Chain A
């Protein structure tokens, strides 16, 4: 999947008019990796991408590509290409001319350009549309042209700025898998900037979750989902339930807290909060279980079913706990799963190893 280090960011900082956009970010991207930069708008992910492409220069820090310092290299000299969010196709050129642009700048031979353009058109399944102008293409086709244009120079690293944002839902879903395939076929490292955690989860080998100019966590989608290290990551990636409280005692590998609503809950914890410190426990909906009151009595609370929806093979239940908090429980169908009726009283609980206590 991945090999030697391709891109290295060393303590990159960039501010605009005194407002920091990117703060002290270090990052390593190996070759042949599909990497996602995930974060809400304004978190600095686009700035980070523009720094790598060379449209911005960092205030401090270094950018290395295959060990060579490219921090101050202008964009046209960097062996990195970018696919723009708006696609930025040249409106006065045909699809073929758009794709050929990068090679023409290199001064490639005409025959080689023609052959490589044809390869690219095949790669993005646009062979019949080479003569069209961008304004004669659909959104999905424009996206493919932009991808082909950015890939034709065989960059070591391809930056993709919100590559799917302009597509409709269905097309977005299909295109995700096409991007995965193109990445695998070309062996180019992809770095996708996105605010959509679904996209990052589906496509990326590894992802970085950003907030306020800094990286909160880097890991595989699974690690990030199952082992969120901050409150922000737990809330931003996937759905979760939070229980806020204060640490009352240490447990093996974790802590026990008393929630603001008076529940005693136990969860694993990677941090070392002081007794009495404020923490929050994050439990994914699929890690909460429902039972009739009285069967279990620890690590949970009593509540009342407020609605119950069956969707995509899963049953989705919302429960209002005593004290007013609403939690979301997701259950697969099958063994031991009861059909809960609205208004029923249930005991909602979770296994401590399936939950994480996070600092707030």
Chain B
């Protein structure tokens, strides 16, 4: 036991690197944001009055921690507007995530069925949009979706519609933007999961009397589940906090928590409240991650 617990120096270093990375780039900023969330807003630069100071002695620090006020969290949790924003973010992200899955699955499936020599090229094509700036691609969608945009012009000139469809500045536009932007994050894990499946499994299913439809649902999909879960998470988590897409493609009524956060920070200059919003969002997103983690553990267990 003790022998196994005693890690070699090398292994300790190998583990220390990601741990250090997380401390520097995740834990420290997180604690900083938490500190701001526990402060009071102020007309100052930066616009808050810190409660906890590193210069304090231990005794003072402990006293202050005991007397901490969680006012900002209380405000965020009781305010209907934030509640609505969280709910609407979750709803839009969930719809967009499922839509992404629906679009990505046939694409990933087709990629795995393509001749081997094409597959690497198809994977490159799937991630090709990343070579252009995200912002530019979203602006391009504005050009496509707005009332005098390409789609409306094309439909009008074909005589299919007589007045422009209002697609821009709607929730649907936000959904389109999210599906489009996050598609590669869904395709790649799906492709990976589907490509590893032995084609003989489908032949075996068919040999045992399964129709292609039944073989798909009873063999292909269950075996692709780890990939599906990974893709759902990779899309859902960033989509909930998405700011750019709802800001550029959404209407003024498109409520998403990313926008609330932005306006709290930059319009209201209320950093403590904005920080509390961010921390609660993080807490919210830990839930699906934990579900995923438990799923993984259960799958690994015999």
Interface residues of A (CB under 8 A from B): 53-55, 74-77, 80-82, 84, 86, 88-92, 101-102, 105-106, 133, 136, 149-150, 153
B194 to chain A, nearest CB (A): 14
Question: Lowest 6 A-B CB distances belong to which pairs?
Answer: A102-B208, A105-B209, A88-B204, A88-B200, A75-B206, A76-B206
Q: Is the CB of A86 within 8 A of B200?
A: yes
A82 to B222, CA, bound (A): 23
A146 to chain B, nearest CB (A): 9
Q: Is the CB of A90 within 8 A of B207?
A: no
Q: Is the CB of A55 within 8 A of B208?
A: no
Q: Is the CB of A81 within 8 A of B208?
A: yes
A76: which of B198, B210, B223, B302 is its contact (CB, 8 Å)? B210
B85 / chain A contacts, CB cutoff of 8 Å: none
A115 to B3, CA, bound (A): 50
Q: Is the CB of A86 within 8 A of B209?
A: no
A-B contacts at CB below 8 angstroms, number: 59
B74 / chain A contacts, CB cutoff of 8 Å: none
B136 to chain A, nearest CB (A): 42
A150 to B198, CA, bound (A): 18
A90 to B168, CA, bound (A): 47
Interface membership of chain B positions 161-181, coded 1 if the CB is closer than 8 angstroms to chain A and 0 otherwise? 000000000000000000000
Q: Counting CB contacts under 8 A, is B203 at the interface?
A: yes
B23 to chain A, nearest CB (A): 37
- The 12 listed contacts between A and B (C-beta, < 8 Å) are A53-B207, A75-B207, A76-B210, A76-B212, A82-B204, A82-B207, A84-B203, A86-B198, A88-B201, A89-B204, A101-B210, A150-B208
Q: Is the CB of B204 within 8 A of A84?
A: yes
Q: Counting CB contacts under 8 A, is B205 at the interface?
A: yes
Q: Is the CB of B207 within 8 A of A105?
A: no
Closest A residue by C-beta to B200 = A88
* A86-B198, A136-B302 given; A105·B210 CB < 8 A: yes
A306 to chain B, nearest CB (A): 47
Q: Is the CB of B198 within 8 A of A102?
A: no
Interface membership of chain B positions 196-222, coded 1 if the CB is closer than 8 angstroms to chain A and 0 otherwise? 001011011111111110100011001
Q: Is the CB of A92 within 8 A of B222?
A: yes
A150 / chain B contacts, CB cutoff of 8 Å: 207-208
Closest B residue by C-beta to A97 = B218
B219: which of A75, A90, A106 is its contact (CB, 8 Å)? A90
* A86-B198, A90-B219, A91-B223 given; A55·B203 CB < 8 A: yes
Interface residues of B (CB under 8 A from A): 198, 200-201, 203-212, 214, 218-219, 222-223, 302
B212 to chain A, nearest CB (A): 8
B165 to chain A, nearest CB (A): 44
A89 / chain B contacts, CB cutoff of 8 Å: 204
Interface centre among B201, B207, B222 (most CB of A within 10 A): B207
B211 / chain A contacts, CB cutoff of 8 Å: 76
A175 to chain B, nearest CB (A): 20
A86 to B201, CA, bound (A): 10
Q: Is the CB of B219 within 8 A of A102?
A: no
A91 / chain B contacts, CB cutoff of 8 Å: 223
Closest B residue by C-beta to A107 = B209
Closest B residue by C-beta to A146 = B204
Closest B residue by C-beta to A77 = B209
A102 to B211, CA, bound (A): 11
A149 / chain B contacts, CB cutoff of 8 Å: 204, 208
Q: Is the CB of B223 within 8 A of A92?
A: yes
Closest A residue by C-beta to B299 = A92
Closest A residue by C-beta to B302 = A136
* A91-B223, A105-B214, A136-B302 given; A81·B207 CB < 8 A: yes
Closest A residue by C-beta to B204 = A88
B210 / chain A contacts, CB cutoff of 8 Å: 76, 101, 105
Closest A residue by C-beta to B197 = A91
B121 to chain A, nearest CB (A): 22
A32 to B193, CA, bound (A): 42
A86 to B222, CA, bound (A): 20
* A86-B198, A88-B200, A90-B201 given; A74·B206 CB < 8 A: yes
Closest A residue by C-beta to B201 = A88
A55 to B201, CA, bound (A): 13
A55 to B206, CA, bound (A): 9
Known: A77-B209, A86-B198, A149-B208. 6 other contacts (CB 8 A): A55-B203, A82-B204, A90-B204, A102-B209, A105-B214, A149-B204
B200 / chain A contacts, CB cutoff of 8 Å: 84, 86, 88
A246 to chain B, nearest CB (A): 50
A92 to B193, CA, bound (A): 13
Q: Is the CB of B208 within 8 A of A88?
A: no
A77 / chain B contacts, CB cutoff of 8 Å: 209
A53 / chain B contacts, CB cutoff of 8 Å: 203, 207
A8 to B67, CA, bound (A): 90
A54 to B205, CA, bound (A): 13
A91 to B208, CA, bound (A): 16
A223 to B149, CA, bound (A): 81
A312 to B218, CA, bound (A): 51
A82 to chain B, nearest CB (A): 5
A153 / chain B contacts, CB cutoff of 8 Å: 208-209
A80 to B209, CA, bound (A): 10
A102 to B203, CA, bound (A): 12
A54 / chain B contacts, CB cutoff of 8 Å: 207
